[in-house]
């Protein structure tokens, strides 16, 4: 483990240089990794582990869409693809990659197979952190660990196939065997992490829920909508409003930020853009800072978890969700976006 300076703060980070794939294979050579759930994170993590030479099996409900997806991805019934109960029995490490609601529903099935010495692996700290809402309380004689890739399972798989790694966080909630650190880091390397930074289950879920509701999804969509609306109300066409709101950001500027940081992106824009950005950034920060403080408090108190669990427990939740997503999909801004994407040179 290395100490890396992040802006003057030293943090524990594990890289492939100090914990290479060969070491990860050696650590897990006698383990059976059972992936429970084949939805968002499951496919990417499972396929990367398999391609990296680990002993992986899938646990999924038979005759479901995700079972069929697993078959299409090459997992074979009775060999590497099993019903959830059987996969949990066979696995020495159970990667619990169902949705948060799915984890709550299936916990009694999984719990009975968590015999002493096994490991329970999460990619999200929700179930453990909000145990008063989820009732997910593992016994004291197993390892409880977390690897959370900082991106979707699709991105994890795509970057793996490109020979790159997606950074991930790791955490140890419970070390019953004395092997939890080696297990979690080996799994993090195995699923395709570029590097692993240390966190806790609570910090992971607090930052994750804040990020999803904030700059990663909720806030950015809200900002898109606000700017697009102002431009359209002032006579700008849908294509112009979309290009100035979304297209230039995602296709031109964010790649520069990803490459060398926001300061470097500023330095590589016009002096007019630099001056305006520097003059207005504090106004935007001051406007949204109270919203982010409210958001974090809602996450930390468990209010966001309670809202999520309550919504997912409603029998018509999926119908309501599809209606909300359909409204987003059919909004003028994203219909304009579809047309703009078709005009990209590579299309």
Which residues are designated catalytic? 124
Positive or negative, the CA dihedral 158, 242, 327, 124 is positive
167: helix, strand or coil: strand
Contact 144, 114 (CB under 8 A): no
* 128 close to 302: Cβ distance less than 8 angstroms: no
Q: Which helix (H) or strand (E) holds 57?
A: strand 56-59
Decide: residue 304, CB within 10 A, 0-12 exposed, 13-18 middle, 19+ buried. Answer: buried
Cα distance between residue 38 and residue 241, in whole Å: 38
Query: According to DSSP H, which parts of the chain are helical?
Result: 21-27, 42-51, 65-72, 84-90, 100-111, 126-129, 131-134, 153-161, 180-190, 201-213, 218-233, 238-242, 248, 254-260, 262-267, 271-300, 303-312, 317-329, 332-342
CB 1 within 8 A of CB 23: no
Tell me the CA distances in angstroms from 199 to 116, 125, 178, one per residue in order: 25, 10, 18
225 vs 212: CA distance, rounded Å:
17
- Give me the count of residues in the chain: 347
Reference 194, options 17, 347, 43; nearest CA is: 17
Q: How far is CA 340 from the centre of its chain?
A: 28
From 63, 11, 67, 8, select the one nearest 39 (Cα to Cα). 67
Give Cα 129 to chain centroid, integer Å.
16
């Amino acid at each position: 483990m290395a100490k890396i300076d992040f802006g003057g703060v030293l943090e524990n980070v594990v890289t492939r240089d100090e914990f290479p794939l060969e070491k990860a294979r050696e650590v897990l050579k006698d383990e059976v990794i059972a992936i429970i759930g084949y939805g968002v994170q499951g496919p990417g993590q499972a396929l990367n582990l398999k391609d990296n030479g680990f002993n992986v099996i899938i646990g999924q409900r038979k005759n479901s869409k995700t079972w069929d997806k697993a078959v299409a991805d090459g997992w074979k019934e009775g060999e590497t693809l099993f019903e959830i109960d059987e996969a949990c029995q066979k696995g020495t490490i159970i990667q619990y990659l169902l949705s948060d609601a799915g984890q709550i529903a299936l916990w009694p099935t999984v719990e009975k197979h968590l015999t002493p010495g096994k490991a329970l692996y999460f990619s999200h700290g929700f179930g453990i952190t909000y145990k008063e809402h989820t009732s997910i309380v593992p016994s004291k004689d197993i390892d409880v660990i977390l690897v959370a890739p900082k991106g979707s399972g699709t991105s994890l798989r795509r970057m793996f196939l490109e020979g790159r790694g997606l950074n991930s966080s790791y955490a140890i909630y419970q070390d019953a065997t004395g092997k939890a650190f080696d297990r979690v880091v080996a799994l993090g390397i195995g699923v395709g992490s570029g590097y692993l930074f240390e966190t806790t289950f609570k910090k992971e879920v607090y930052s994750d829920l804040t990020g999803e509701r904030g700059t990663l999804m909720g806030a950015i969509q809200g900002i898109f909508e606000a700017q697009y609306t102002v431009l359209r109300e002032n006579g700008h066409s849908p294509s112009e409003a979309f290009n100035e709101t979304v297209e230039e950001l995602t296709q031109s500027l964010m790649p520069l930020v990803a490459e060398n940081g926001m300061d470097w992106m500023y330095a590589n824009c016009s002096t007019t853009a630099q001056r305006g950005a520097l003059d207005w950034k504090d106004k935007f920060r001051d406007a949204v800072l109270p919203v982010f403080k409210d958001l974090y408090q809602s996450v930390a108190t468990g209010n966001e978890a309670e809202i999520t669990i309550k919504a997912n427990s409603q029998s018509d939740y999926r119908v309501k969700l599809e209606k909300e997503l359909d409204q987003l999909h059919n909004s003028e801004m994203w219909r304009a976006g579809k047309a703009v994407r078709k005009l990209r040179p590579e299309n």
